[in-house]
Amino acid sequence: MSDPHDSRASLFSKKGVSLGAKSRGAFARNVVIVTSGKGGVGKSTVSVNLASAFAQRDWRVGLLDADVYGPSVPRMLQLEDARLEWNDADRIVCAENFGLKVMSVGMTTPTPDTPLIWRSSVATSAMVQLLDDVDWGPLDLLVIDMPPGTGDTQLTMAQELNVTAALVVTTPQLIATDDVRRAIRMLQDVQVPIAGIIENMSPFTAPDTGARYALFGEGGGRLLADQYKLPLLAELPFDLDVRVSTDAGTPLMVSGRPEQKARYDAIAEQLIASGRLTAA
């Protein structure tokens, strides 16, 4: 980094990203990526609340927002005004809230609405820097909120990190599952272990009338799980409180009702019970 106190100099520069296979992220006992191949399915919501579920178990948890072009994690954690800071060792200091250490490209820009007009090589280099140059400290779990697609960022993360498990998020509708299939195939091709499928925006029952609504269809997550012989870890119903909590910057795992928190707790429990994660 040419100037450790100039975020543009450090994150807009293109630096070498290859240190050998699975060489990065040794500071984390477990690395879980939350991916989809599709935008708008709720990866960030799942990432934030799953990370919070583990933090509430007294795990040391970091959350990396790897969605370079549309970072939303800072707002979801009341960190939208956070900007990069450096410690005495010239390493980037994580932002922190709700017991999570957080880093996002959204914290590198002069203002929250500054667009990142980057080629993929620069975007990938920035992600590598947010792994290498950030003072994460020892973590029990690093959760990475992946961007949409199956491109450079996904491939670099798979090659450079020893990923413990991938969680694949979908909505029930076919237009989503079409893209999610490609993400599953990519993970299989690069030999990243898949812990299971999470269906978001599943049908819900109206509390006042008892009527059931399937706004985005139903069964897409189960279809993928059956087709690729993967566990269906959760069917998270469409819930207005999710929108309210994310806009307010308070995770549902912090502000939600017991039955809402239980949905993410159950995912965490399944990951622990499966033996995929090394316990804190």
Asked if residue 24 is part of any domain, the answer here is no
% helix / strand / coil in the chain, to the nearest 5?
A: 35, 20, 45
Determine the structural domain holding residue 84 and report its residue range.
Answer: 31-273
Judge whether 197 lies within some domain: yes
CB hemisphere CA count around 114 (13 angstroms): 14
Inside any domain, residue 218: yes
Q: For 14-28, how does the pLDDT look when each residue is reduced to its tens digit (9 = 90+)? A: 444 444 467 799 999
What's the CATH code of the domain at 133?
A: 3.40.50.300
In this structure, the number of other CB atoms found within 10 A of the CB of residue 115 comes to: 8
Residue 161, both tokens:
């990190």
pLDDT at 21: 63
CA-wise closest residue to 129 among 138, 121, 141: 121
Give the separation between CA 112 and CA 83, rounded to whole angstroms.
10
Report yes or no on 280 lying in a domain.
no
187 lies in some domain: yes
Question: Does residue 186 lie in a domain region?
Answer: yes
Cβ atoms of residues 198 and 170 within 8 Å: yes
Q: What is the pLDDT of residue 203?
A: 95
Pairing of strands 194-202, 204-205: unpaired
Looking at residue 19, what is its pLDDT? 42
Integer Cα distance of 198 and 88 in angstroms:
41
Residue 266 CA to residue 199 CA, distance in Å, equals 14
CA–CA distance, 252 with 247 (Å, rounded to integer): 11
Q: Which two tokens stand for residue 68?
A: 């370079």
User: Virtual CA dihedral for 150, 104, 274, 184, nearest 10 degrees?
Assistant: -10
The tokens 């195939």 sit on which residue?
185
Tell me the whole-structure pTM to 2 decimals.
Answer: 0.90
The predicted structure's pLDDT at residue 120: 83
Calculate the CA dihedral of residues 186, 190, 195, 200 and round it to 10 degrees.
-20
Dump pLDDT digits (tens) for 221-236: 999 999 999 999 999 9
User: Does residue 151 form part of some domain?
Assistant: yes
Sequential DSSP letters for 212-267: EE-BTBS-HHHHHHHHHT--EEEEEE--HHHHHHHHHT--HHHHS-HHHHHHHHHH
Res 69: pLDDT: 85
Beta bridge partners of 236: 200
What's the number of domains the chain is made of? Answer: 1
pLDDT of residue 158: 87
**pLDDT at position 278, please?**
86
Q: Is residue 10 part of a domain?
A: no
Residue numbers of the chain with a pLDDT score lower than 70: 1-21, 280
